[in-house]
Amino acid sequence: MQVELANLNQLIFAFGVLCLAGSVGGAMVGTMLVDVFKSHSAKQRNQPTREDVS
């Protein structure tokens, strides 16, 4: 019983760490995609004038 309880605690801990890492990674990827999309749409709008494109 003791071994099963230890394994269960380890599994729950690993699952929590994975969930935390996944949420942090997802947030980072989401903000990166939003930045890329914003810069892309800005470039599309400023296509005729080449001054703003760095």
Please report which confidence band the pLDDT of residue 27 belongs to, taking 50, 70 and 90 as the band edges. Answer: very high
Q: Is the pTM of this model over 0.85?
A: no
Q: What are the Cα distances from residue 13, in Å, to 6, 8, 23, 39, 43? A: 10, 9, 15, 39, 45
pLDDT at position 47:
64
Task: Show the tokens assigned to 24.
Answer: 């942090």
In a 13 Å sphere around the CA of 16, the CA atoms on its Cβ side amount to: 6
